[in-house]
Structure formats: structure tokens, C-alpha cells
Amino acid sequence: MSERSERDGGPYRAGFACFVGRPNAGKSTLTNAIVGQKIAITSNKPQTTRHIIRAVLHRPDSQLVLVDTPGLHRPRTLLGERLNDLVRQTWSEVDVIGLCIPADEAIGRGDRFITGELAELKATVLAVVTKTDLVDRKRLAEQLVAVSELGEFAEVVPVSAVSGHQVDTLVEVMTRYLPESPQLYPDDMLTDDPEQVLVAELIREAALEGVRDELPHSIAVVVEEMIPEGQLIKIYADVYVERSSQKGIVIGHRGSRLKAVGTAARRQIEELLGTRVYLDLHVRVAQDWQRDPKQLRKLGF
């Protein structure tokens, strides 16, 4: 029992929760909306999230630790297999799981497959109907009925991360199913991830923006150095692609695309770190890195 719970009279709850679902179900956007700050990168492409990122939501009576995971998908590479293993390991360790199903898409085979996998776990499973801002009331009502018939859920909660509708309600519901526990993280901790991982993810998000259709999975980013110099942090990072032809796509005509990536990423990184940033980006080729165990290790997978 924590000091806080004794002071406030009710039990203090703390634990881990994660959102799961097929790619592009709104998991990372929802994580960011709940924490109120950008922790997880978002994109409309599968495999956007590649690292397990923990974001901590502090409330007077609880601490909700949100674990952002990659989407479960049909793996085509060694990287894909490793990401799926990572997802399943996370599922087995959290207290609450929110299965995200978009309000504007029919329930598919992927949703049924994931629901079946979740039924084997000890965690409390909620269904979260995301993107409610994209449908009218009638469509939402139909989707809520369809989702409730999909499996045995503790509760079904409709939510919009974009408009903020019902985000607080979802937090209340998730917290209710956390175990009684003392605080797990200090008050000022927003995430337990090294800054270098978050910075690399923001650079990768900016790099994905312009080449979404051409090479969504082929980009990886490694931050080599972060050096504080007075009021500035100098960041040296390498953007990896799988083939020489892709290098030209990322750099763009006379370096125009890489420059745009640097500008967009620097803005986000300065917001994250709260300081001015000098960002030095280089594009390198790591041949077929998604299929090569040695390259995967080097790139942090």
C-alpha cells in the first residue's frame, strides 16, 4: 500500500496495459492521446511501431503504464518474426489489454485471429472501438454490437484519440482493472525509454513521411551520438536502407528530401527534449537488413 493511497482513503492501483490490434487500428495515436505527449510514432503504414515503448500516466490514485507494441502481422522477414515474438511476450506480461478495432472498418480475419489469441491470456481484455470521429451514430452503434459479439470482453469502450472523445473514460476503465500496488515509477517519469530510442523513432517517422509508398519497411535509424554543447544538443544519426537505389529516394533531388526529413525531425526532437538541436543525418546502405540476423542485431532488433 503506498503512502498516497493511505492518505486518500482508496486503494492505489498501478500496473501495465497495452493496446493491440491489426496495423493502423489507432494504437499509437491513442497512447499519445492518453499520455498527452508524443511518445509513440504514428503513420498509416503497418510496422510503424518497432520498439516496445512504455509511457507512464500519473494520476492521484493510480499509475497506468502503457506499453506501445508493434501490430501483430503476417511476417515476411526475420524482422517481422521478431516483432511478432515481441508482441506476444508483452501480452503475456501486462494486466490489461485493449483490443483496438476501428469504427470505420468492418471486422476482419485479423481481428478474429487476435481475439482468439487474447482469449488464452490471464490479462483483462477490453474492446476499444477507435476512430469514432469518422462515423455517424448509426454506424457506430452497429460496430459496437459487432465488436461485442466478437469475443468475451470485460467492457467495450468507443473512443476518438483525435477529438479526445471518451479518452478519459477509457483511462478510468483501464485503471479499474489494474492491481492494487504501490507506485512503480517516480512522479516525474513520462517514459522509461532511453532518449536515443525516442529520437531515432522521431527521425524514422519523418523519413517515412515522404517515402511511404516506395519503402515503408526498409528504413531503420540509429542515433550514434548525442552531445550536449551549452544550450544545444548535437545529434549524429544514420538512416539505413536496404539497397543503393533506395538511398537516392531518401536523399532526394540534390538532397532536398533528406533536408526536409531533418527539418521535420529536428522540430519534433526539440519539442521532446525541450532544447535546441543540431541534427546531422547520413543515409547508409545495409544490404537486406530485415532478413540478416547480424544486421538486425546491429540495428537494435
- Is 154 found in the same domain as 211? no
- Is 262 found in the same domain as 144? no
Q: What is the dihedral of CA 81, 50, 301, 55, to 10 degrees?
A: -130
Residue 127 phi, psi dihedral angles, 5° rounding? -100, 130
Residue 63 phi, psi dihedral angles, 5° rounding? -135, 115
293: in domain: yes
Q: What is the CATH number of the domain that holds 162?
A: 3.40.50.300
Q: How many domains does the chain have?
A: 2
pLDDT tens track, the chain, 301 positions: 344 444 455 799 999 999 988 877 888 788 888 877 555 444 444 444 445 567 788 889 999 988 876 666 666 777 777 777 877 888 888 999 999 999 999 999 989 989 998 988 899 999 999 999 999 999 999 999 999 999 999 999 999 999 999 999 999 999 999 999 998 888 776 665 567 777 888 888 888 886 656 665 678 888 888 888 888 999 999 988 888 888 888 888 888 889 999 999 999 889 878 889 999 999 988 887 777 777 777 776 6
Output the known binding site: 21-28, 68-72, 130-133
pLDDT of residue 228: 87
> In this predicted model, what pLDDT tens digit does every residue of 43-55 receive, in sequence order?
444 444 445 567 7
Residue that finishes a domain, picked among 146, 176, 206 = 176
- Is 99 found in the same domain as 70? yes
pLDDT of residue 170: 96
- Is 171 found in the same domain as 209? no
181: in domain: no
pLDDT of residue 213: 61
185: in domain: no
278: in domain: yes
85: in domain: yes
Mapping DSSP onto H, E and C, the string for the chain reads CCHHHHHHCCCCEEEEEEEECCCCCCHHHHHHHHHCCCCCCCCCCCCCCCCCEEEEEEECCEEEEEEECCCCCCCCCHHHHHHHHHHHHHHCCCCEEEEEEECCCCCCHHHHHHHHHHCCCCCEEEEEEECHHHCCHHHHHHHHHHHHCCCCCCCEEECCCCCCCCHHHHHHHHHHCCCECCCCCCCCCCECCCHHHHHHHHHHHHHHHHHCCCCCCCCEEEEEEEEEECCEEEEEEEEEECCHHHHHHHHCHHHHHHHHHHHHHHHHHHHHHCCEEEEEEEEEECCCHHHCHHHHHHCCC
Residue that finishes a domain, picked among 148, 176, 204 = 176
186: in domain: no
Q: What is the CATH number of the domain that holds 275?
A: 3.30.300.20
- Is 143 found in the same domain as 200? no
- Is 107 found in the same domain as 256? no
State the CB neighbour count (10 A cutoff) for residue 187: 8
- Is 104 found in the same domain as 144? yes
- Is 280 found in the same domain as 139? no
- Is 172 found in the same domain as 88? yes
> In this predicted model, what pLDDT tens digit does every residue of 155-182 receive, in sequence order?
999 999 999 999 999 999 999 999 999 9
- Is 245 found in the same domain as 204? yes
Cell of 60: 492521484
Give the range of the structural domain holding residue 294, as residue numbers without chain letter.
195-298
90: in domain: yes
- Is 210 found in the same domain as 172? no
Output the known binding site for GTP: 21-28, 68-72, 130-133
190: in domain: no
- Is 117 found in the same domain as 203? no
